[in-house]
Chain A
Amino acid sequence: MTSLWRAVTCSAARSWPCQAQPRSLCTSPLVHVKKIVCAEEDGNLTIEGRIEPSPREGRVVSAHAGMCTCSLCQLNLNIKHTDVLILSQFLRSDGCMMPRRVTGVCRLQQRRVQQLVAMAQKAGLMPNLAPAWSKRDPKLRYGYRKFNKYFDESTIRDVRPFANLEARGGPPSVQ
């Protein structure tokens, strides 16, 4: 009886597909460093992938939860729409914004810079970064657009203005 049951289970295991087997789940990060070992014995070459503990175990710096590594988040600056020297770095010579793959900042900071640039352009603070056919002088604009305008940065929906400030213990110093 037992031998018959064993035979049935063996044949069943072979015929069943691989996804029936349970997958191993971990909640902590796994450290898997494989060491490839080649051993030749009596004409038999044995290539073995041995899983060994990592030499860096216990020395890895843990990032704070939610820390962004993009340049603007790391700088922790309260950029205003009047900081044209910073905002102009994100623009081409004709006033168009550079895409995120060029600037390298995170999605939220890119959106924030986009809105700050729009504010600065509406306020007429970067007239030299404009298309060649446009009126460069804000005073030549039509109607209400020729008059001075300022904006409130707090109207931008909270998109990480002071990233990681508490986690890092304050804004970084300029070297």
Chain B
Amino acid sequence: MSSMQRAKQWATFSRIWHIYDAKWQNPFESAKLIAAYLKGQHKPIYHPLSDCGDHVVVTNCREIALPGPEWYQRVFFHHTGYPKGGATWTLAWELHRKNPTMIMQRAVHRAVGGTLLRKPLMARLHLVADAEVPAELLRHVTSQMTQLRPQPRRLDSYTEQEVRDFPKVFDYPADYVVR
């Protein structure tokens, strides 16, 4: 094998570390994409038993966004295994307040499927609540995954001049008192 072919072999079969920013993203939609990368379905050499999946580091898990009323409508079920009061139903916002990475972890756990491969795939998922990623994770990262939803901009993030110069849809009537 020539040195060029050896480089291509390494590049094809090596395990890549991707980083994904979950800020303002729906965790359940993102989980489908993350699960595909964990399994290696984005590679042409994919086979479920080939162990060709990559690592994914998910940052800003605290800043995930859910649509409309889902924060107080989505419920996470847990059973301790013990009878008489072992079952709990926790609302999404309560769970997120206690552990900000748990919703993302639960979403990927479901998206990855119920096979025996789930355990090693979940072991390759690294969740970080904030924007600061630990150095031991960040040093392996070589690729970035694009976000699914656009991040909205707050009105106070625009300068006063930008707000003033933006085209206006209507003009005030002559007798209107601006307040």
**How many Å lie between the Cα of A84 and that of B91 in the bound state?**
30
Interface residues in A118-175 (C-beta closer than 8 Å to B): 123-129, 143-144, 147-152, 155, 174
Check A102–B24 contact: CB distance below 8 A: no
Q: Decide: A82 near B93, CB < 8 A? Known: A71-B170, A104-B170, A144-B71.
A: no
Question: Are A147 and B170 interface neighbours, CB within 8 A?
Answer: no
A72 at the interface (CB under 8 A from B): yes
Interchain nearest-CB distance for A135 vs B (Å): 14
Cα-based distance from A144 to B167 in the complex (angstroms): 35
Tell which of A84, A127, A129, A147 has the most Cβ of chain B within 10 Å.
Answer: A147
Task: Give, as a whole number of angstroms, the nearest-CB distance from B90 to chain A.
Answer: 12
The B contact surface, by secondary structure, is: loop
Residue pairs across A and B with CB atoms within 8 Å: the count is 86
Distance in angstroms between the alpha carbons of A102 and B152 in the assembled complex: 28
B124 at interface by CB-CB < 8 Å: no
Closest to A94 in B: B179
Q: Which residues of A contact B158 (CB under 8 A)?
A: 84-85
CB contacts under 8 Å to A, within B140-164, are 149-150, 152-156, 158, 162-163
Which residues 53-109 of B have a CB within 8 angstroms of A? 63-68, 71-72, 91-93, 96
Using a CB-CB cutoff of 8 Å, which residues 119-142 of chain B contact chain A? Answer: none
Chain A residues within an 8 Å CB radius of B67: 149-152
A155: min CB distance to chain B, Å: 8
In the complex, A68 has a CB within 8 A of chain B: no
CA distance A74 to B136 in the complex (A): 56
| Chain A residues bordering chain B, tally (CB within 8 A) | 34
Q: Which residues of chain A come closer than 8 Å to B152, judged between CB atoms? A: 82, 84, 123, 125, 150
Which residues on A sit within 8 Å (CB–CB) of B173?
A: 101-102, 104
Given known pairs A144-B72, A147-B71, A147-B93, the reply for A71 and B169 (CB within 8 Å) is yes
- B66:A147 contact, CB within 8 angstroms: yes
Contacts of B26 in A (CB 8 A): 150
Asked if B6 is at the interface of the complex by the 8 Å CB criterion, the answer is no
Measured between alpha carbons, how far is A66 from B152 in the docked complex, in Å?
34
Contact (Cβ within 8 A) A150 B149: yes
Check A129–B153 contact: CB distance below 8 A.
no
CA distance A92 to B157 in the complex (A): 18
The smallest C-beta distance from A146 to any residue of chain B, in angstroms, reads: 8
Residues in chain B near residue A85, CB distance under 8 A = 155, 158, 162-163, 166
The yes or no answer to A86 lying at the interface (CB within 8 A) is yes
Question: Can you give 5 A-B contacts (C-beta < 8 A)?
Answer: A84-B153, A85-B162, A127-B156, A143-B93, A147-B65
